[in-house]
Amino acid sequence: MKIVLVRAYTHCNLGDDLFLKVLVDRYPNVKFRIIVNDLDLYAKMFDQYQNVTIIQNLTFSLLERIYFKSISFISKKKRKEIIKKYYKKYYTNEYDQSDLYLYIGGSLFMENIYGDNLADELDKLITSVFFDKPKFIIGANFGPFYSSGYKDFYKNIFFKYQDVCFREAYSLDVFKELPNTRMCPDVVFQLQLPSVIDKESNSIGFSLIDISQRKQLMMFTEEYKRFIIQTIKESLENDKKVYMFSFCKQEGDENVIDNILCLLPINLREKVNIVLYKGNIDDFLLKYSKVETMFCTRFHSMIISSLLNQNIFPIMYSDKMKNVLQDLNYEGLSSDIASLHNINSSEILKKIRGNKLKIHQQVIEKSKDAFTELEKVITL
């Protein structure tokens, strides 16, 4: 049985956790060692899988953290080099226990123009540690990036992988000169969703993100909240059952939900249903799937809602949703966050019924092709 070391974004984000679920469900006869940031949470999440071992990501003791902080005042470069030594030891140990390396997820490569680039250095380090073993990237989009240097840095890394499978045409075009790059629709398109015979009549949901912590978006925070609050008010006034969904606490979804609740009139707050993702994938998806209409800010909210044949209104906070919607030839209602001031809630609520993104079977099948190159190795 092949042993695959899996690296992913493991901060209890529904979309990223679904990548892992699809992977381990698809290959029950392959052993996966999944690196996580919360050992107890992910051990519970995958406790029914005999082929999964959950391993703790590198952690530092209190004394080590104090030391790193103290030397950062002297030299950030020195601090980074010391941390990289810890990571090299950690991944060398994993190299000895694994047959190959897989990095799976969505927004894995984003240029940080405001701070440290340790994440990029870690990608380079892992690539060098696994120099003679198969390496794969599945499901990613590249960017946003702002410099040719960032692209060239990853071009040199991607060249050393057996397969780099992006989820959008834009990212593939950035690296079209690399022969080992290709594109398949998002891995989550092949997710097996709960079978819901009847959706809840007159129900409407909102998947939300906290843009106040995103430097390129924070100036739109008040307009975003205004639009959501106004749409919720009008929905409740029209006797609709309203839900707000948090996909990731760490990224502030719950904070923005609390903030919106506080800004609603007291008599309306108790009418809003809150659904929080806490690692309970099946339970969360079941509740989500019963809703008729969804305002989708979260990227994977748009994908899940489309698979569920829900009415949708995509609210685009980055190019990744816009790029994927273009790849799928979507021509329905949508808005980017910067343009919400031009959107009338009443008009959207009138027009949203029947506003759907039909996912054809060929998209689902093509999504499965994301694993074809990996499969050639793990089934040997």
Q: What is the pLDDT of residues 97-127, one digit of tens each?
A: 999 999 999 999 999 877 668 899 999 999 9
pLDDT at residue 69, rounded to an integer: 66
Structure token digits, residue 27: 């290959």
Please classify residue 185 by burial: count the beta carbons closer than 10 Å to its beta carbon, then call 0-12 exposed, 13-18 middle and 19+ buried: buried
| Three state DSSP letters for 128-152 | HHCCCCCEEEEEECECCCCCHHHHH
Rounded to an integer, what distance in angstroms lies between the CA atom of residue 192 and that of residue 204?
A: 22
Residue 117, φ and ψ in degrees, nearest 5: -115, 35
Structure token digits, residue 56: 């703790």
> Is the model more confident about 80 or about 14?
14
pLDDT at residue 168, rounded to an integer: 96
pLDDT at residue 107, rounded to an integer: 95
In whole numbers, what is the pLDDT of the chain averaged over residues? Answer: 94
pLDDT at residue 151, rounded to an integer: 97
CA–chain centroid gap for 278, Å, is 15
pLDDT at residue 68, rounded to an integer: 62
Confidence of residue 256 (pLDDT cuts 50, 70, 90): very high
DSSP 162: S
Q: What is the pLDDT of residues 144-203, one digit of tens each?
A: 999 999 999 999 999 999 999 999 999 999 999 999 999 999 999 999 998 877 899 999
What are the chain's domains? 3-188+364-378 (3.40.50), 203-359 (3.40.50.2000)
Q: What is the mean pLDDT of residues 49-66?
A: 83
7: closest CA among 173, 152, 130, 160?
130
pLDDT at residue 374, rounded to an integer: 98
pLDDT at residue 66, rounded to an integer: 61
